[in-house]
Each structure stands twice: as structure tokens, then as C-alpha cells.
Chain A
Amino acid sequence: MNPADVAQSVLPLTSSDLSLFTLFWHAHWIVKTVMIGLLVCSVWVWAIAIDKTVLFTRTRRGMDRFEQAFWSGQSLDELYRTLSTKPNHSMAALFVAAMREWKRSFEGQQRSFAGLQMRIEKVMEVTIAREVERLERRLLVLATVGSAGPFVGLFGTVWGIMTSFQSIAASKNTSLAVVAPGIAEALFATAIGLVAAIPATIFYNKFAGEVNKQAQRMEGFADEFAAILSRQIDERG
């Protein structure tokens, strides 16, 4: 008996239509779930990646523009007035928070210089933390997908190979035409897992580095600004 005939009689999946869709459609439902889950993960990872790329680019550009404006010799009050309405990026938010605290200290009935320096630093610290939190939000998803994706895909593959071996044992035929489709559909799960995990890992590393860089830049600005304000306080006091 020709093995090819056996394969066609035993399995509806012949080697002639091994397209992606049939690979997916003939898989076990657990493998299907794994594949769908990984596909959703991949979509989510790319959504986060696009979102973060846009956010980081905008933040960097805003920082550049703000630093240019800040060091251009413009009056800080004027700068505060223009930015206070909508502090759209991290460094501006930092500046606005510090200036607000400064203004509050001067506008009140009694001037409270004593803890002003400390208060400004605290405010800026909190703002930096909030901004960094905003920058690295959802990066953990990337990390998780990047590390767990291959395992999830491997789980799907192992399960698929288990079931395909069971069906091979049932059909009592070990020709490649019988074995190959089941293994191909099982390996498809690992393929999707890798497709999801590889970009996730790459993007996570890239964005983690970016967050670090921007946080340092904000901290540097915060120190400088604190020094400037401290000099002002000493001069006025």
C-alpha cells in the first residue's frame, strides 16, 4: 500500500494544502488558543512599541526646545506663564512644578523661605518620578512577552506534537506524509511565539535605555534648576 494513499485516507490534511490558514485550522484547540494568545500579544507589543516611539520622540524634541528656551536668557516668569497652561512634556512639567512652588512661597501673606529649597527639591523629585513612571508605563508588557513568548509557543508545540504522535499511533503508519502535517502545525505555534517575542525583547531593551537617558537628563536639569533657585532665595533672603 502506498504511504501517500494511507496519509490521504487517514488525515484530511494533505501535503498539498499546507497553507498558514489550514495549519491553524487543523490544530488542537489548546494549540489554537496559544496561537491566538500569542497573536494578540504580538499586536499589543507592536502597539506599545509604536506608542512609545512616538512618545519618546516627542519628549526628546520637547526637551530640546525647552532647554533652548530656558538657556536663551528669557525671563523665567515669562516662560512659566507660557508653559503653565499646558505642560506637555516632562521637563516643562518639572519646571512648572518647581516654579509653582516658588510662586506659592512668595505670594502668601508670610514668606516662608526656611524650607523653600527643600520643598522645591522634593516637588521636582516627585515630578521626575511621575514623569519616569509615565515614560516606562507598559514597558513591562514588552519584557513579559519577550521572556515568556517562546515558552508559550513551545508549550503549544509540545502539545501539538503530543497529539500528532497520538494520531500517528492511531493510524499505525509512520511515513513522513502522515507525520509531517501534525508536526508542521505544532511548530507553527513556536513560530508565532518567536515572532511575538523577538520584537518585544528588542523594543524593551531600546525603550529601557531611552527611559534611563531621559530620566538622567531630567535629573540633571532638576539639579541645575534647584541650584539657580537656591541662589535666588539666598539673594532675596
Chain B
Amino acid sequence: MRKAAAISTGLHVAVLLFAVLSFSSKTFEVTPAESLPVDLINDKDFSELTKGAKDAPKVEQPKPLIEKLDPPKPAEEIAPKLTEKKELKVEKEKTAEPKPDPIADKLKKQDEPKQEAKAEPQPMPPKKPPQKQQPKFDADKIAALLDKRDPQRNAATGAELNSTPSLGTATGNAAQLSASELDALRRRLMALWNPPVGLQDAERYQVIIRIKFKRDGTLAVGPQVITSGSGVRYEAMRDSAVRAVFVGQPYTMLRPEHYEIWKEIDFTFDTSQMFHDIPTR
């Protein structure tokens, strides 16, 4: 037994020594990873991600529009030639003066002090500083003249520039119609919608109306009611919805660039949504 105990002790010491030597912990070398930018989006944003496919043909990006305008031409300068010519003429007159003419001489002598007095201011018109001439008023250019912007500016980055969709996800189904546009439409229609007041059990009614638009945001055809129902209250409710659609046009919040998307919209008028905001007692 003593022998066995000695063997066991020796074994343990050996194992411990090995462990101490091999168990020296190495510090984790953390390679600094580049931080990933993360966007937080809500459910609605996620469900309306634009659809995209990696192997889709490349869309030619339309070149940015640049409004090219003629820069207003600098005003024509007044030629200072005119005044110089006048000067020359004056000198010629002066040189011509001493021609012998006795009568004139006599006359001159009499008049000399007068003439002298007269002639002195005459010799040259006072030198006018070369005055800048006002640009000629041109009615055709009035818009350009009123334009205070830099003539070499780029066209404003509008919807045209951004018409190419981003890559998006493979599951996205929304095209380009942004939520804000739809929300604006919804707010407009909800504001205009005036459901019949005496509606009981208002929660039950739901009317879906198909609205077809023209490009300018007005209705192409009258609103079609898709849902069906019967009863006086339903009809009153349906008519109020149709009225709201009529009243609301033109729907300018829908941008014409995306006309293909919003030219036909099924809109749901739901009394439960309508009355939702009213606190129930």
C-alpha cells in the first residue's frame, strides 16, 4: 500500500507539473474588426424593402439633368472713341482760326474779349468718365436676368436622378412608392371621409374602393367599390367613402414619376380605424 501511495503521489505531481507548464493561458488576440454600420428599421420598412436581384440587368443610369442657360451677356461697353473724335475736331477748328480775314479780324478784335470769354468753355466738352451703359432691356431675357443662381449649377437632384432602385432584397415587394406618399394619401382621404353619423356597430363596416388615377392625380374613372354589402347603413357608408374620393382630387402628393405604381390603388375605408381615435367610455 505504501508503494502504491508513493506511485500515486508521484503521478499526481507529474500531472500537476505538466498542467502548470501547459495550462499557461494565452491572452486572446482580438483582431480589431471593422465596425459594421447598422440601420434600425421597423417592421413596415422591412416589409416594404425594394425588390432586387443580383443578376438583374444593369439599368442605364440617366445622366443628371443640367439646366443649361445662357449666362447673361455682359453689357456692351461704351466706346470712348466718340469723345476723342470730338477733341480732334476742336483742335482742327483751333488751327483753322488764324486764317487772315481783315474784316473778321476787325470784328474779332472788337469781339475778342467776348469771343474769348465765349470760346473758353467751348474748346472741349467736359470729359465724361466712360459711363457703364445699362444693359438693354430685353423682354425675352427677363427670366434669365431675374435668375440670381449660379449659371453653372447642376440640375436639382430630383426624382429623375434617383429613379434607379437600390439592390434591395429578394423578398421585397414594394416598388418605389414610399410610405410617406401612401400615408399622405391615407391622411387626405381619412380627413375628407365623413361617415354617416348614426352608424351603429360601426366596427363592422369596411369598404374597399379601387381608385384609378390619371397622371395628374385626378380620377381616371369613378371609384369602384369592390366590397359588397347591403343595407341602408352600408350604402350610406359606401357613398360617403366614394364622396371622399371624389372630393379629394387632385391627389398631388402622388409623384408622377411613379405613376405606374399608383395608377390603381385599392383603398380600404374602415370604420374601426375611423373611430379608433375616439376614446370610448
A19 x B20 contact (CB < 8 A): yes
A15 x B5 contact (CB < 8 A): no
Given contacts A42-B12, A47-B1, contact A18 B7 (CB under 8 A): no
A36 to chain B, nearest CB (A): 12
A50 x B16 contact (CB < 8 A): no
B25 x A19 contact (CB < 8 A): yes
Q: How far is the CA of A43 from the CA of B23 in the complex (A)?
A: 20
Binary per-residue interface labels of chain B (10-26) against chain A in the complex, 1 for a CB within 8 Å, 0 otherwise = 01100010011001110
Q: How far is the CA of A48 from the CA of B8 in the complex (A)?
A: 9
**Residues of the A chain whose Cβ atoms lie less than 8 Å from the Cβ of B16:** 20
**A-facing residues in B237-273 (Cβ within 8 Å):** none
Contact among A19, A39, A48 with B24 in the assembled complex (CB-CB below 8 Å): A19
Majority DSSP secondary structure for residues of A touching B: helix
Majority DSSP secondary structure for residues of B touching A: helix
Q: A16 contacts the other chain (Cβ, under 8 Å)?
A: yes
Q: How far is the CA of A42 from the CA of B1 in the complex (A)?
A: 15
Q: A54 contacts the other chain (Cβ, under 8 Å)?
A: yes
A40 to chain B, nearest CB (A): 9
User: How many residues belonging to B are interface residues under a CB distance threshold of 8 Å?
Assistant: 16
**Residues of the A chain whose Cβ atoms lie less than 8 Å from the Cβ of B20:** 19-21
Q: A44 contacts the other chain (Cβ, under 8 Å)?
A: yes
B210 to chain A, nearest CB (A): 59
Q: A155 contacts the other chain (Cβ, under 8 Å)?
A: no
A235 to chain B, nearest CB (A): 45
Q: B27 contacts the other chain (Cβ, under 8 Å)?
A: yes
Q: A107 contacts the other chain (Cβ, under 8 Å)?
A: no
Q: B171 contacts the other chain (Cβ, under 8 Å)?
A: no
**A-facing residues in B1-60 (Cβ within 8 Å):** 1, 3-5, 7-9, 11-12, 16, 19-20, 23-25, 27
Closest 7 CB pairs of A and B: A51-B4, A46-B8, A47-B8, A47-B5, A50-B4, A18-B25, A47-B4
Supplied contacts A16-B27, A47-B4, 7 more A-B pairs, CB within 8 Å: A18-B25, A43-B9, A46-B11, A46-B12, A47-B8, A49-B8, A50-B4
Of the A-B pairs whose beta carbons lie under 8 Å apart in the complex, a sample of 26, sorted by A's number, is A15-B27, A19-B23, A19-B25, A20-B19, A20-B20, A20-B23, A21-B20, A39-B12, A42-B12, A43-B5, A43-B8, A43-B12, A44-B5, A45-B8, A46-B8, A46-B11, A47-B8, A47-B9, A48-B4, A49-B4, A50-B7, A50-B8, A51-B1, A51-B4, A51-B5, A54-B4
Binding site for B on A (CB under 8 A): 15-16, 18-21, 39, 42-51, 54
